[in-house]
């Protein structure tokens, strides 16, 4: 297995781990946020508008973590900074 194949395999594995692990935290956090918001709305129905607005802002912040993981995974697969170095060393 040549060095280019090793870098390609490592990039794909790292991207898969980044997305797999990086999606678990936001998924659990979003579930907990929705659970807490629904419990709060059930206890205080008059504050529904305020709680819903705050919930959506919080969900957007939580989702940004998963988006950052996605961006890192795409960089690893399509714009890996090690590609040029490895291709030069391989003589290609």
**pLDDT by residue (tens digit) across 15-66?**
999 999 999 999 999 999 999 999 999 999 999 999 999 999 999 999 999 9
Three-state DSSP at 44 gives: coil
Domains (ranges, CATH) in the chain?
3-90 (1.20.20.10)
Q: Output the pLDDT for position 92.
A: 60
Query: For residue 80, what pLDDT band results from cuts at 50, 70 and 90?
Result: confident
pTM (2 d.p.): 0.77
Q: Distance between CA 51 and CA 49 in Å, rounded?
A: 6
């Amino acid at each position: 297995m040549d060095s280019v194949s090793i870098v390609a395999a490592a990039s794909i594995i790292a991207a898969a781990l980044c997305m797999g692990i990086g999606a678990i935290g936001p998924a659990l956090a979003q579930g907990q946020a929705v659970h807490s918001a629904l419990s709060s709305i059930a206890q205080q129905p008059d504050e529904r508008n305020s709680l819903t607005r705050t919930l959506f802002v919080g969900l957007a912040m939580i989702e940004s973590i998963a988006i950052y993981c996605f961006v890192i995974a795409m960089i690893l697969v399509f714009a890996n900074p090690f590609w040029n170095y490895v291709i030069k060393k391989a003589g290609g």
